[in-house]
Amino acid sequence: MKKHLPVCLGLLLGLSATAQPIFYATNLPSQVGGYNRSYYSTDSAYVAAMLALYTNSTGGINPPLGPKSPQIWDFSQVQQPSETVLRTDLIAPSAGPDGGSFPLATYAEQDTLEPASQIAWRYYSTTNQGRYYYGFYEPQSVDADSLVVFDQPTVDIPPVVNYGDTWSRTVTWGGHAVNDPIEYVFTTTANVDAYGTLILPSIGVVQGLRVHEVQDYQASWDDWPLEDDPCDYYYWLVPGLGVAVQIIQNQADTSGLLTGENIVERMFYASYFTNPPPPLPSTNLTTGNLHIQLQSRSVLLNWAVFTNSTSYQVQSVPSLASTNWQSLGLTTGTNWSDTLTPTQRFYRVIGTH
């Protein structure tokens, strides 16, 4: 007599090697009244640890060899000691400080470190030509401009984004620091260098594209360079969520003056995400008597003892439509570890005696 305990893990590992997502700028949330909440940290050690996640995925190889896809990024950790909660609200431009300086903007993003510390506003419009970014307002703790209006709006996210796409842009504006006129130049080159599966806290499993931008922010006074702040900016575009995860890692400031903050921001709630998958906050899945846990590069299977069974055969198939279950091995225990793959896999355990 055999007792069968099949389970589907396609929810967790269900990305086909050819299922490259496509992101449209119109996927970006832009409806006034919507908001999202993210875990937010500026701790440099934590930023480096989260950035290293891309080396833990099955397809990932660190540069200079270059990353492969699809990949799996597990950002599902509970809130860490170094993290606060950042809320981003979509508001009317007129509701933000100096909103009248951005007459073409149709909405603004307002960042608040909960419970009530508002730290930034960004002004946008989203069209079928991409997302136009007009400028921002950031309250300054030093004698510098809080309001920044770009000389020309920039398209920071193109109308259509695919794996392998690249784009560059340059943004300029004038301002003041300690009453002296300053000229600013911001340049960036973006590369969509990976795609795959993200696991987000509370939200669960989603598919997305990772964009890597190499940014450089330069300030000068009377053609005399004052500041040069290069950084690496990684962000993950997810249909229905927009920018779901952001990681900023600053390089050394060549001037020896100011440097920007290192940042991790990972979304755990979005009011406008209307079709979320079942939540997997701890990356665990239980069906019937079989418990499945995702840990780094492995899938861990655990099950209760079957009555009258002395051993267990672990099997898998790439699709439930297949009847050709492949045996992974036989064990007398009640657990099994399998190497994570970038393709979908379904498991079942058969008890024998």
Give 188-246 pLDDT, tens digit per residue.
999 998 888 888 898 888 889 999 999 887 877 766 656 667 888 999 999 989 999 99
Dump pLDDT digits (tens) for 5-51: 333 333 333 333 335 789 999 989 999 999 999 999 988 788 777 77
Domains of the chain (ranges; CATH) run 3-13+279-352 (2.60.40.10), 23-270 (2.40.360)
Which residues, at least 6 apart from 349, have a Cβ–Cβ distance to it below 8 Å? 5, 7, 290, 301, 303, 312, 313, 314, 315, 336
pTM score, two decimals? 0.70
Contact of 314 with 306, CB cutoff 8 Å: no
pLDDT of residue 223: 64
Length of the chain: 353
Tokens of 165: 């796409």
Residues 67 and 57: their CA atoms lie apart, in Å, by 10
**CA–CA separation, 86 vs 100, rounded Å?**
25
Average pLDDT over every residue of 265-283: 68
Distance CA 332, CA 351 (A): 10
